[in-house]
Structure 1
Amino acid sequence: MNSYRWSAALLMMTLTVPTYTWAQGCNLSVGPGDVDFGQYNRTTLQPAAGRLALPIRHLNLNLVCEAEQNLTLVYRAAETSTQGFMLGRLGVYQLSVLQASVDGQPVQWAQLNTAQSLSSGTWVGVLKDDRALQPVRAGSVVRGRQLTAQVEISATLDVSVRDSKDAHTWQAHGAFEIAGQHREVHLRTGFAPAACRPALSDGGRVDFGRISQGQLNRETITSFSRQTALQVDCDAATRFALRAVDNRAGTVAARLPAPLPALFGIGRGHTGLPLGGFTVRLGAGTGRDGTTSSALSGDCAAQVWHQAPDMLLQHDGRLSAFKRVHSPGSLPGAWQGLSIPLTIDLHLAPARLLDLRQETPIDGSATLEIIYL
C-alpha cells in the first residue's frame, strides 16, 4: 500500500510542471527571421483536400544559457484559427518542432494544458496558440542549458484564391518565447493571376500570295504550305493550353486530307461552293529556359492528356498543351515563355469544282485562345 502511494506521488512529480520565473543569461536565435513562401498563380497551386498547399519551409531555433533553465516553448501570433495560425485573410500555417535536442541529447515534446501539466497521450511537437511545449525524455520533463531544434512550417491557402483577378500579398508575424527570450518571425506569400500573352508572327497573317489556275490540279486536291510561329509569354511559369476556334465554320470542302475537326474553313467561291480548308500543325517548341516542348492533346475538360507530337490543332473543343520532352508522364508543363513553330497547310478543292473565271479571295480565319489549367 505504501509502495503504491509512493509511486503515485512520484508520477505526479514527473508530470506536474511548476511555473518558473523566466531566467536571464540566455541567448535565443531563430533563423531565418523572414519566411517567404514565394509568389504563385492559379496554375502553380493545385488543390488537395480542399486547400492549396504551399511549399514547406524550415526555421532553426537555437538557445544557449549560462545555467540550466526551464525550456518551456511558446509561439504567439496575432491571429489564429481552428486550423492553426492565420497567414493573412485566406491562409493558415502550422508549426511543428522537429529534431530537437537538449544539451546534445534528443528530446521529444509534450504539450502543456491549461492547468500547466503535461497532456496525457502521445508526445507531440505541434505548437498551438498560447499552448506551450515542454521537452521530455523518457517521460520526464527536461531542463538544460542548450536547446537546438528545427521548426517545420506548413502553410495552405483557401481554394478561392485561384478565382482572384487581382494580385495579393498575405503577411503574418509571430514570436517564439523560451527562457525569457523573445524572437519574432515574419511570414508572407503572394498570388498573382499570371497572364499569358500569345503573339503570332506577322500579326497572324499568313500570305499564300496569288495562286494561278495553272498551279491547281483539276481532279485532285492541291496543297500549299507556309511556316509561321506562335510565341506565348507569361508573367510567371504557367500551365496553359490552346483552344482553337474556326471563324469560317461550315465552309470546309469535302474529301480534304485531314480529319474534319482539324480543318478550318477558307470561305466560299462565287458559286457558293467551299474553296477548301487549312490545317495548323504544332511543331516542337522551345521554352525560354532552352528546353524543348512536345505537344499534348487533351479533352475539353482538360482532365485526360496524351502525347501527340506534330499534332494538328482542332476546333471541336479539344485542347492542345505542351510538356517538356524529357519530363515523365503526359501532363502539361508550366512555361514562362514558349515559342512554337506552326505549319499552315492550305488545301484547295479540285479545279473542276471551282469557278476560275474571276479572282477569288481565300479568306481563312481562326482564333487561338489561351486556357489556364
Structure 2
Amino acid sequence: MKLSTMLHQRFAIRHKARTYRAWRLGAVLALITGGAFAANCDMRLSNPEVDYGALNRGEMELRGNAPIALGTRQLTLTAVCRQETTFGLRFEGQRSDSTSYRFAGKGNFTIKLSSATLDGTSVQLAQLSGDAVGKATGASAAIELRPNEAVTAIAQNQRAVGKVFLAQIEIRTYISEAETRARDITTLEGRGALTLETQ
C-alpha cells in the first residue's frame, strides 16, 4: 500500500515600481491503495494538503548560501487492517543524502515519525534492516524515515502486532537561496510514496 506525496512550490515575481518576490509551498498527499495488502488494510492522512502559505523573500532571514527552512508541518497517519499484523513504513523518494529526500534542484525535506500507538497502546519505533522481515534496531519514541530504510512498531523489544496503527508525521522542508531567485513563475517539486509493509 502506498501513500504518494508531492511537494510543490510556486514563485511569483511581479515587476512594478518595486520587485516583489513571493512563493507558495504545498505538500499534497493522496492515498493510493495497491499491492497485496490493499484489500486488508486502509491507510490515510489527517489532511490531504499541507500549505506553507505565501512567503516574501524580502522578509526572509537569508544567511549567505545556507539552506532556507520553510517550517515544520504535522500530519497524523492512520492504518487500519482487518487482521492482526506487523506494521512497517518506508518512504520511496529521490534521495538527497542519507537522511533526507530531494526537493527541487538543491532543496530537501525530512520525514520523522513519533507518538505511535498500536490498538490504542503506545509503541516505540525502530529502524528495520533489510526487507519487511528484517531485524529491528534502535527503538525510540521518535525516528526519522530515511532513504532506503523502513521503520517498524516495537513493543516489549520485538515487532508489535495489531490492527490499528497511528503515528504523527513531521515534515521539514528546506530550499536553497538560489532557488528564490526566479524571473518568472516557477514550480519546484519533491515526490515520493509512503509504503505500508505488513505480514
With the length of structure 1 as denominator, give the TM-score of the two structures: 0.39
Structure 1 residues 286 and 335, CA gap change in structure 2 (3 angstroms): same
1:267-311 per-position Cα deviation (integer Å, ceiling 9, x unaligned): 2xxxxxx141111100121233x2112111011233221134221
Partner of 2:162: 335
RMSD (CA atoms): 2.4
**Identity value in percent:** 19
| Higher share in strand | 2
Partner of 1:161: none
Count residues with an aligned counterpart.
Answer: 159
Q: 1:195 aligns with which of 40, 48, 52?
A: 40
Partner of 1:57: none
Partner of 1:228: 75
> In the aligned structure 2, how far is the partner of 1:193 from the partner of 1:337?
15
Are positions 1:278 and 2:105 aligned together? no
Q: 1:368 aligns with which of 187, 194, 199?
A: 194
> In the aligned structure 2, how far is the partner of 1:262 from the partner of 1:335?
28
Partner of 2:51: 207
Gapped regions of structure 2 (runs ≥ 5): 1-35
Q: 1:303 aligns with which of 134, 154, 158?
A: 134
Structure 1 residue ranges, 4+ long, deviating more than 6 angstroms after superposition: none
Gapped regions of structure 1 (runs ≥ 5): 1-164, 166-191, 253-259, 268-273
The residue type equivalent to 1:242 in the other structure is: L
The residue type equivalent to 1:336 in the other structure is: K
| Higher share in helix | 1
* Larger RCO (CA under 8 A, 6+ residues apart): 2
> In the aligned structure 1, how far is the partner of 2:47 from the partner of 2:179?
32
Structure 1 residues 208 and 303, CA gap change in structure 2 (3 angstroms): same
Q: Is the 8 A contact 2:125 2:153 kept in 1?
A: yes
Classify the secondary structure of the residue corresponding to 1:202.
Answer: coil
Q: 1:237 aligns with which of 74, 77, 84?
A: 84
Are positions 1:293 and 2:117 aligned together? no
> In the aligned structure 1, how far is the partner of 2:185 from the partner of 2:138?
42
> In the aligned structure 2, how far is the partner of 1:261 from the partner of 1:206?
24
Which has the higher Rg, Structure 1 or Structure 2?
1
With the length of structure 2 as denominator, give the TM-score of the two structures: 0.70
Classify the secondary structure of the residue corresponding to 2:47.
Answer: helix
Shift of 1:353: 5.8
The residue type equivalent to 1:372 in the other structure is: T
